[in-house]
């Protein structure tokens, strides 16, 4: 089995590598110190198990999971508290709360060696807390989009179209995820198919009884429909 250690702290990588070195079933130990390298190595080398820190340079652990094409067994190594960790428990093999003992490490590793896990397919939708950026793949590159760059989001089949100034990027994610995790004071679900950055609204026009359209700043050709519920949300958020 191949194992990948994704840790930005050299001593943490060294400790996990030391623990793995005595395991006969581990044939190769790979290392990455940031999220970009982790994505590259996972997609190229297809490790069987990944020890993944949550807080990493460049891309965090959850963003790594969104961008990989191969699904290894994941064991989180994290300093997150138990409240945040509850989101990981459903689909990750295990989590190691730092600092962890060798016995605790072997307990987690044993779950992989004994096939006692179910995968991580839903984990990326369950990460709690407000997001500050979104990562998307564009060809062979990874683009990091900061949320203040987003003008609006548009549902498109199983994807969400992220619209910026002069750019659009498709993300395989749900509108519900963005509604739950974007700052609610700035991003408003105005329609089942649209979430709008309130800071980018140029005007709201009434074109029929109880029917409204939003015009986005610097993009007058884009008209976004507003549902009755969405209009009430706008009134509360913008105080009109």
CATH of the domain at 188: 2.40.50.1020
If asked whether residues 91 and 39 sit together in one domain, one would say yes
If asked whether residues 118 and 160 sit together in one domain, one would say no
If asked whether residues 149 and 53 sit together in one domain, one would say no
If asked whether residues 115 and 190 sit together in one domain, one would say no
d(CA 41, CA 180): 31
Domains held by the chain: number: 2
If asked whether residues 20 and 44 sit together in one domain, one would say yes
d(CA 61, CA 65): 7
The residue range of the domain holding 83 is 2-125
- Which of 108, 125, 142 terminates a domain? The answer is 125
Per-position pLDDT tens, the chain of length 240: 999 999 999 999 999 999 999 999 999 999 999 999 999 999 999 999 999 998 899 898 888 988 998 889 999 998 876 545 555 554 578 888 899 999 999 999 999 998 766 555 444 455 556 788 999 988 878 899 999 999 999 999 889 999 999 999 999 889 999 999 999 999 999 999 999 999 999 999 988 887 899 999 987 678 999 999 999 999 999 988
If asked whether residues 83 and 154 sit together in one domain, one would say no
70 phi-psi bin (left φ>0, alpha ψ -120 to 50, beta other): beta
**The whole model's pTM is what?**
0.71
- Which of 125, 144, 173 terminates a domain? The answer is 125
If asked whether residues 184 and 212 sit together in one domain, one would say yes
């Amino acid at each position: 089995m191949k194992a990948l250690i994704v840790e930005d702290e050299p001593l943490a990588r060294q400790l996990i590598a030391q623990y793995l070195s005595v395991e006969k079933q581990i044939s190769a130990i790979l290392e990455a110190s940031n999220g970009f390298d982790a994505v590259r190595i996972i997609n190229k080398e297809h490790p069987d198990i990944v020890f993944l820190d949550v807080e990493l340079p460049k891309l965090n652990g959850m963003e790594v999971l969104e961008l990989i094409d191969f699904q290894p067994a994941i064991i989180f190594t994290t300093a997150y508290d138990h409240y945040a960790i509850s989101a990981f428990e459903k689909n990750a093999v295990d989590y190691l709360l730092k600092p962890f003992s060798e016995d605790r490490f072997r307990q987690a590793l044993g779950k992989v060696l004994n096939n006692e896990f179910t995968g991580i397919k839903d984990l990326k939708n369950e990460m709690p807390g407000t997001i500050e950026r979104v990562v998307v793949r564009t060809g062979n590159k990874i683009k990091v989009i900061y949320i203040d760059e987003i003008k609006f989001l548009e549902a498109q089949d199983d994807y969400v179209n992220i619209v910026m100034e002069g750019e659009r990027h498709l993300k395989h994610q749900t509108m519900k995820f963005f509604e739950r995790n974007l700052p609610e004071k700035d991003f408003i679900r105005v329609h089942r198919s649209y979430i709008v950055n309130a800071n980018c609204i140029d005007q709201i026009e009434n074109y029929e009884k109880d029917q409204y359209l939003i015009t986005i700043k610097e993009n007058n050709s884009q008209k976004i429909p507003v549902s009755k519920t969405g209009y009430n949300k706008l009134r509360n958020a913008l105080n009109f």
